[in-house]
Amino acid sequence: EENQQSVKLVAFGEQAWSGSGASLAAAVSGVLATDLVLATLHTKGTEPSYLVSAVASDTDEITFTLDAANTSDDAVVTYAVLRAV
């Protein structure tokens, strides 16, 4: 049995890393905590790391988490936010 549902694109873009940590809360207008976030590293940071999660953590916010701190603040995440309709 397939689990299919229709979705609409709510937001998409790129987020430059800041704050030198392993997680980053980014303001993204229109996002709800129930939305699905698809994300990937567009630009890897100087410190070896990979993207662990990208979660619509609150209204108008996505939290991205790396497996290690990006202290050089040079990683860039590309994301798309989907909402069931």
Q: What is the DSSP letter of 68?
A: S
pLDDT average, residue stretch 52-69 = 95
| pLDDT in the model for residue 24 | 96
Whether pLDDT at 1 is above 70: no
| pLDDT in the model for residue 2 | 75
Task: Quote the tokens at residue 51.
Answer: 């993207």
| pLDDT in the model for residue 58 | 85
Residues 64 and 81: their CA atoms lie apart, in Å, by 13
What is the tens place of the pLDDT at every residue in 11-56?
999 999 999 999 999 999 999 999 999 999 999 999 989 999 999 9
